[in-house]
Amino acid sequence: MMIDRNMKNINTPNMFLSCYKSERITYPKDKIESFVSEDILSKIRVVTELVILQAKLK
């Protein structure tokens, strides 16, 4: 909900909420040889999107 409304931070008298997205690109080990061209890497790339919500109580 915070990401859909483009709200990165919510600050109240009792707590501070922070929400952001992060992407992690990984390559499966079973598909990689020691030296692989960039063209092949782009075909087997796996992108994982993470949503992180942090809360700090005051």
Q: Tell which wins on pLDDT, 31 or 47.
A: 47
Q: Tokens for 27?
A: 């390559």
Of the candidates 34, 38, 8, the one whose C-alpha atom is nearest the C-alpha of residue 25 is 38
Which phi and psi (to 5°) does residue 29 adopt? -65, -35
Give tens-digit pLDDT for 39-55: 887 888 788 888 888 88
Q: How many CA atoms lie within 13 A of 33 on its CB side?
A: 5
pTM of the model: 0.46
On the question of pLDDT at 1 being above 70, the answer is no
Q: 3 near 22, Cβ under 8 Å?
A: no
> 6: exposed, middle or buried (C-beta count within 10 Å: 0-12, 13-18, 19+)?
exposed
